[in-house]
Amino acid sequence: MSTPEQTSTHAGSQAARAMAARAHRRGTRAAATYLVRSAWLVGAAYWVVVLAIGAVILYIELRGDDVSISAVGGPASSARFFLLVLGIILPLGMIALHVSAGGTRRSLTHGLWAGSLVTGVTFGLATTLVLWCGGWLFTRQGWTIEPERAVYGDWSQIGSVLVVESLYCTVYFLAGMIIALAYYRTGGWLGTLLIPVALVPLLVAETTLQSGYFGSPLSGALGVPEMSGWLVPLGGLAAVALAAAILQVVLRAIPVRPVEFGQSVTG
């Protein structure tokens, strides 16, 4: 047990630093993988429902020959709200296990960052695909789509749609995590009071990406001028960065709750 190199291994030694760096990467990867996998396990069901609802609406509209609302686009671009809810649920069950498995809060944070980015982009991709398919069906029927006040005029601007929806999904996912973890950390009233903090990055995202339910009316109400060009993705990225930073602050030095709390929260 006590050969020289073993006793010389301690937290400050070179060997230990290399081991710790490897452990950090393992922790980050494990947390990110779990997050993405769980989001998509539940997400698959979500997309099935989205397509089913879209089909029903489309069918009704075809019969009435009145196409005033976006049939598939509406449910599809609410993916971000679905991710907000998942963001509230998923990381709560991860903290205790991650730390118990010897991971740091830092590697958990990095894992959540990476995981929410991958989840956000893949959900953005799915949204884009669904929008594009919906739009393609519409044009085949000979209908035209009237552009809303949105950064992308319609489904055909695939690149813009992908960027905007991916950024939305990532920010909303991170905001859900902030809400849940702030509540986990402070509990009760203070947790509730901290919810507005999580809403700030959402506000930034909505007023720069300017699409969907809130984006356009909100920007209009706040008098934010219409964004275009590079300002849009930059604003979205700023929102993501802000949410990531808030998440890091919330997770830094977060105490792992006693068993009873975890059970009452995660069921």
Partner 1 sequence: MTTAPFGAELRDVVVRYGRKDTERALDGVTLSIRPGTITGLLGRNGAGKTTLAALLAAFRRPTSGSVLVGPAGGPLDDPFENPWVMMHTQLVRESGDVWGDSKACDTLDYYADLRPDWDADLAGRLLDELEVDVRKSPDALSRGKRSALGAVIGLASRAPLTIFDEVYLGMDAPSRYAFYDALVADYTEHPRTILLSSHLIDEVERLFEDVVVIDRGRVLLAEPAEDVRGRGVSLTGPADTIEPFVAGHQVLARQHLGPTSQVTLFGELDAAQRAAATQAGLEIGAVPLQDLFVHLTRKSSDLKEDAR
Residues that bind partner 1 (CB under 8 A): 1-2, 6-13, 16-17, 19-21, 23-24, 26-27, 29-30, 34, 93, 96-107, 253, 255-256, 258-259, 262, 266-267
Amino acid at 120: G
Phi, psi of 235 (to 5 degrees): -65, -45
CA-based torsion, 146, 79, 182, 37: positive or negative: negative
- Coil, helix or strand for 34? helix
Radius of gyration (C-alpha) of the chain in whole angstroms: 22
- Give 26 or 145: the residue with its C-beta nearer to partner 1: 26
Cα separation, 180 vs 40, whole angstroms: 20
Q: How far is the CB of 96 from partner 1 (least distance, A)?
A: 4
Cα separation, 162 vs 156, whole angstroms: 11
Are residues 53 and 17 in contact, defined by beta-carbon separation less than 8 angstroms? no
- Give 29 or 200: the residue with its C-beta nearer to partner 1: 29
Q: How far is the CB of 115 from partner 1 (least distance, A)?
A: 14
CA-based torsion, 221, 227, 231, 232: positive or negative: positive
- Give 157 or 185: the residue with its C-beta nearer to partner 1: 185
- Give 42 or 118: the residue with its C-beta nearer to partner 1: 42
Q: How far is the CB of 47 from partner 1 (least distance, A)?
A: 20
- Pair of tokens at residue 191: 């947790």
Q: How far is the CB of 247 from partner 1 (least distance, A)?
A: 16
Q: How far is the CB of 245 from partner 1 (least distance, A)?
A: 18
- Give 60 or 245: the residue with its C-beta nearer to partner 1: 245
SS3 annotation, 164-204: HHHHHHHHHHHHHHHHHHHHHHHCHHHHHHCHHHHHHHHHH
Q: How far is the CB of 186 from partner 1 (least distance, A)?
A: 13
- Give 228 or 264: the residue with its C-beta nearer to partner 1: 264
